[in-house]
Amino acid sequence: MAYLGIDVGTSATKAVVIDSDGTVLARSRVPHPSARGCGPGRADPAAWRSSVIATVGTVVETLGTNAPAVTGVGLDTHCPTALLLDASGRPLTSGVTWDHPGLAGPTADLINALSPDEIRLVGNHLMPATAMGAAYRLLQSIESEALSAATTFGLAGTWLGQWLTGQRAIDPTQASYTALMSSTDGSCRWLTDVLTRFGVPPHQLPPIRPSLSVLGLLTRDAAEILGLPQGIPVLVGSGDTPAASYALGAAPGGRPLFIMGTTHVVSNALAEPDPRALALQRSDVRTGQWLINGVINGGDALADGAARLGFGTGDAAVARLVTAAFEAGPADPGSPVFIPHTRPERGPLWFDEPRTALVGLDAQTPAPVAARGVVEGVLFADRMIIESCVGADQRTLYVSGAFGDEPALPQLLADVLDRDILVVDESHLPALGAAAMCGEVLDGRVMMPPQTRRVSPRAEWREAVAERWDHYRDVWCTVTGVAPLDTLDEAKTRNLC
C-alpha cells in the first residue's frame, strides 16, 4: 500500500508518496508562477491544474511499476482563493484571492451583516483573508456572467476535489476562512441566516465535510491524466498549514509548528477556541481541535532585504544574505534595524498596508553588519507572532523550511527566539500530511512524525540578542505606530504607541 499527498500551494504544487510505514517513496515539486499572472488579486486555476499533472506525473514516473500500489490520495491547498465552478467542477473564471483590491467594501458589508453572536460563532479576526465569503459579492459585480452560470462558490480545495472525484465539498479548515461557517461551537455548519442576509444562495455552497473522510473515488478521466489507478479513494483534505501540523501530530499543549516559506506562519493547536480573535483561527483537521495562526510575509521580506542590500534577487540572493548575516556574529546596538512588513499582513500584526524601514544604515555600514540587521529584523518579527500565539510553557517549536543542509538560518532563528527548535528537514511537509491522512482514514494507521534535528540558542549570544530585542521593539513601535505584541496571555488588545 502507498498513499499520495498533493499540496497545491501559492507558488508551486508538491506531491509525496509514502508507504504504509510512512517512508517517503517519491516526492516532486513543480512551480506555477503564471497562476498570479492574471491581474491583482486573481489566480488562474489552469496553472494549478498543469502543475498538479506535472508533479504527480513525476512521482508516478519515479515509482515506475510500483505506481499501481497507490491506494489513496490526500489533498491540501493554500487558502484562501474563492472560485466559481460549473456542475463538472470546471472554473468559470480566474479565482479571487484574499488580497484583491476590491474586497475591502464587500468584506465590510459581510462583517456588518453578522450579529455579535454570529461573530462569536465564526470565531476569527474578520478581514478579507478570513471573510472570503465576501468574494461572492465582489464576483457579482466583476464576473456577473460567470456567477450566473456557476453551480458552486467554493475555495481552492473545492476545485481540486471536484476535479479528481466529481464530488464537491469544503472542509472545516478552509470553510473557517469564509466568515460564513459556525466554528467555535464545533458544529461546522453554514450560517444560513447570514447567507440569506448577504445574498449567497445556500445551494451554491459546497457541503462541509470532515477533513479526515473520503470525498469520492478517482474518476477514470483524472486517473488517466495523472497515471494513477482508477477508483482509488480521494480524501476531502484540508488547508496547507493544517496538513503540515497534522503531519507532526499537532495536539493541544503539544509543540507548535513554525513554517518559514514565502509566508512565515506559526500554528498552535487548541482544545477550545481562543475568544480574543487576535490571531487567525480555524477548525483543525481533527474534530474538537482548533488552530491559531500568526502570519507575516517573512520570505518576501528576506527577498526584499536582499535586493535592498545589493545581494540580488531570487532564492540564491536570500541564501547569500543569510550566510553574510550568520558570519557577522551578534549585532551591536548601533547596527541597522529592519522593519520587514513589506505587504499587508494577515494576523496578528494586522497591517492593512506595507510598513517597511531600514533604520541606521549608511555608506559606512559593513555589508555583513547590514545583512545581520535585515535577517535579524525578519526573525524578530517572527518572534512577535510566535510569542503572541504560543504559551509560555511551550518552549520548543517545530520549524519547517527549505533549509537543506545549511545551518545558518535555523541557528539564527534559535538565537533570536531564545528557544530550542526542532528542524523538520522534510521540504514537502503539507503534502506529507495529506498523504498521512490517507493512512489514518483508509487503514487506521497514524504515521510517526518525520525526523527532526535540535538546534539550541547559543548562550554567548543571549545578552546581545536581548539588548537588540529591546531596541528593535522601540524602533518597531516608532515605524509602525503600534505597540509590539506581547505574550499569548497578555496580548488582549493592540494599543497605539
pLDDT tens digits, one per residue of 128-144: 889 999 999 999 999 99
Residues 243-262, mean pLDDT to the nearest whole number: 94
CB 34 within 8 A of CB 89: no
Residues 478-489, mean pLDDT to the nearest whole number: 73
Residues 255-275, mean pLDDT to the nearest whole number: 91
Residue 487 has pLDDT above 70, yes or no: no
Q: What is the pLDDT of residue 406?
A: 78
Q: Does the reported pTM lie above 0.75?
A: yes
Residues 155-169, mean pLDDT to the nearest whole number: 98
Residue 494 has pLDDT above 60, yes or no: no
| Omega within 30 of 0 (cis) for the link into 101 | no
In the chain the first and final C-alpha atoms are separated, in Å, by: 58
Q: What is the pLDDT of residue 474?
A: 93
CB 53 within 8 A of CB 1: no
Q: What is the pLDDT of residue 403?
A: 76
**Per-residue model confidence as pLDDT tens digits over 325-380:** 999 988 777 789 999 998 877 777 778 788 999 999 998 899 999 999 999 999 99
Residue 491 has pLDDT above 50, yes or no: no
CB 324 within 8 A of CB 371: yes
CA distance linking residue 157 with residue 170, whole number of Å? 7
- Residue 153 in 3-state DSSP? strand
Q: What is the pLDDT of residue 492?
A: 43
Residue 453 φ/ψ region, left for φ over 0, alpha for ψ in the -120 to 50 degree band, beta for the rest: beta
Q: Amino acid identity, residue 36?
A: R
Residue 484 has pLDDT above 50, yes or no: yes
Residue 51 has pLDDT above 50, yes or no: yes
Longest CA span, the chain: 66
Confidence of residue 473 (pLDDT cuts 50, 70, 90): very high
Confidence of residue 429 (pLDDT cuts 50, 70, 90): very high
Length, in residues, of the chain: 497
For residues 280 and 217, which has the higher predicted lDDT (pLDDT)? 217
C-alpha cell at 257: 509548528
Q: What is the pLDDT of residue 66?
A: 85
C-alpha cell at 332: 551591536
CA distance linking residue 423 with residue 387, whole number of Å? 18
Instruction: Name the residue among 355, 329, 332, 335 with its Cα closest to residue 344.
Output: 355
What sections of 64-213 are H helices per DSSP?
A: 104-113, 116-122, 135-142, 144-149, 156-165, 172-175, 192-198
Q: What is the pLDDT of residue 483?
A: 81
Residue 59 has pLDDT above 60, yes or no: yes
What domains can you pick out in the chain, each with its CATH number?
2-236 (3.30.420.40), 249-496 (3.30.420.40)
Q: How far is CA 304 from the centre of its chain?
A: 20
